[in-house]
């Protein structure tokens, strides 16, 4: 699980929109990731989702009224808002946006928001015409000027039957936004990092290509953790089925040559390059202009090496992290790659066990040090440990 949410106090304000059903999954995942979640609701929200649902998920009381019983040091809505690391309002209806913009506080959600000094994130959800109305747009502008983070809305089918702008974003995007806001002052704040992920594809003809089994999961996890720690993160990714991480600048590429160009550009001002992508080692020497036909007989391919991106990209001060997906003589091959490519850190894994999997067992290699074998862990947790190692190297470099 991502460390960024562990122990964090999150207030989730739920207002009266049909998208309230999505917030059930958001709250479930926040709790699963270690956050302490307090839910406050408007009375209208309870028409869509009952307070008992959120109470069962959070194991904490849910506030619906503005008047509650104060117990000891707990001062109702004031304590809930004041002790939060972040408040999220989802769905945020047009009515609630207007109240927030003008400082009104006549329900549990807006009252708690006024008492919360921590960052506020809102996810608008309403009919298309309501969202586009000048009053709503002005209210959103006011909130943005105050530093409120606005996430969405998206474009799609709405409860009214219309298709347009106004749909609340999905829980995945909200979680990414929450993690981004919480990590703004993290341990990598002010750093620029570049992460590569996924496979590359080397075309044979207009419809076929050479590639590999990489899913991109490890690289995407690395990019998300870097973002969680406050880094300005660029993800250069080959083709995957994964959603673009919130708050990460993403560059999509296909071939090894395209990835080289994107990495060279992105690392011009970067502090760290993490080369996690499974880049093709070879490509066809020629690409057929038309689809190759089976009836043409046996297909003989002449392959040529692709450019070694890690060995090619050099810049004074750039810390370079590589990956070695091996199938034999693991440490021997990894040490040779560490030296040949001038790396500061190399992450070794078994290609047959790791590619496409949700977990990984890796070994970390650094120049002049013995290998550090890590236990098999979910890739999100492996990403955290890799960034711990990178941060240690950054501190060592600054101290010398």
Taking CA atoms, 254 is separated from 10, 37, 209, 239, 273, in Å, by 39, 41, 10, 6, 19
| Helix/strand/coil percent split, the chain, to 5 | 35, 25, 40
Query: Mutual orientation of helices 217-228 and 379-399 as an angle, nearest 10°?
Result: 50
Residues 6+ apart with CB under 8 A from 80: 11, 38, 40, 63, 112, 115
Among 253, 144, 136, 164, residue whose Cα is nearest residue 201: 253
202: its two tokens: 């080397």
Whether 212 and 239 have beta carbons less than 8 Å apart is answered as: no
212 is catalytic: yes
Q: What is the rounded CA–CA span in Å between residue 333 and residue 327?
A: 10
CA 77/CA 41 separation, integer angstroms: 11
Q: Give the residue among 43, 121, 42, 36 at the shortest CA–CA distance from 79.
A: 36
Catalytic residue, candidates 212, 240, 249, 361: 212
Cα separation, 45 vs 105, in Å, equals 16
Catalytically active residues are: 212
């Amino acid at each position: 699980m991502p460390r960024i949410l562990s122990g964090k106090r999150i207030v989730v304000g739920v207002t009266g929109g049909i998208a309230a059903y999505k917030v059930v999954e958001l709250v479930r995942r926040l709790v699963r990731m270690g956050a302490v979640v307090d839910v406050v609701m408007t009375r209208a929200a309870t028409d869509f989702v009952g307070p008992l649902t959120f109470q069962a998920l959070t194991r904490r009381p849910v506030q619906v009224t503005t008047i509650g019983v104060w117990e000891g040091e707990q001062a109702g809505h004031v304590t809930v808002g004041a002790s939060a690391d972040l408040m999220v309002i989802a769905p945020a209806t047009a009515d609630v946006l207007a109240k927030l913009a003008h400082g009104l506080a006549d329900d549990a959600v807006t009252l708690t928001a006024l008492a919360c000094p921590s960052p506020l994130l809102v996810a608008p959800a309403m009919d298309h015409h309501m969202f586009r109305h000048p009053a709503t747009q002005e209210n959103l502008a006011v909130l943005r000027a105050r530093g409120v983070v606005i996430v969405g809305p998206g474009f799609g089918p709405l409860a009214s039957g219309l298709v347009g702008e106004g749909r609340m974003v999905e829980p995945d995007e909200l979680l990414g936004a929450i993690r981004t806001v919480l990590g703004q002052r993290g341990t990598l704040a002010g750093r620029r990092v570049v992460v590569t992920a996924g496979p590359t594809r080397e075309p044979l003809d207009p419809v076929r290509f050479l590639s590999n089994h990489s899913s991109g999961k490890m690289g995407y996890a690395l990019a998300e953790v870097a973002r969680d720690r406050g880094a300005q993160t660029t993800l250069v990714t080959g083709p995957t089925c994964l959603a673009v991480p919130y708050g990460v600048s993403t560059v999509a590429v296909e071939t090894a040559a395209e990835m080289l160009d994107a990495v060279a550009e992105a690392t011009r001002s970067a502090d760290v390059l993490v080369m996690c992508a499974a880049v093709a080692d070879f490509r066809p020497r020629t690409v057929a202009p038309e689809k190759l036909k089976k009836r043409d007989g046996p297909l003989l391919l002449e392959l040529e090496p692709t450019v070694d991106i890690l060995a090619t990209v050099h810049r004074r001060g750039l810390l370079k992290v590589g990956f070695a997906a091996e199938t034999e003589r693991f440490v021997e091959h990894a040490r040779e790659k560490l030296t040949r490519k001038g790396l500061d850190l190399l992450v070794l894994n078994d290609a047959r066990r790791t590619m496409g999997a949700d977990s990984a067992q890796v070994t970390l290699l650094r120049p002049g040090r013995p290998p550090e074998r890590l236990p098999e862990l979910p890739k999100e947790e492996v990403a955290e440990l890799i960034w711990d190692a990178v941060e240690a190297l950054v501190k060592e470099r600054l101290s010398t």
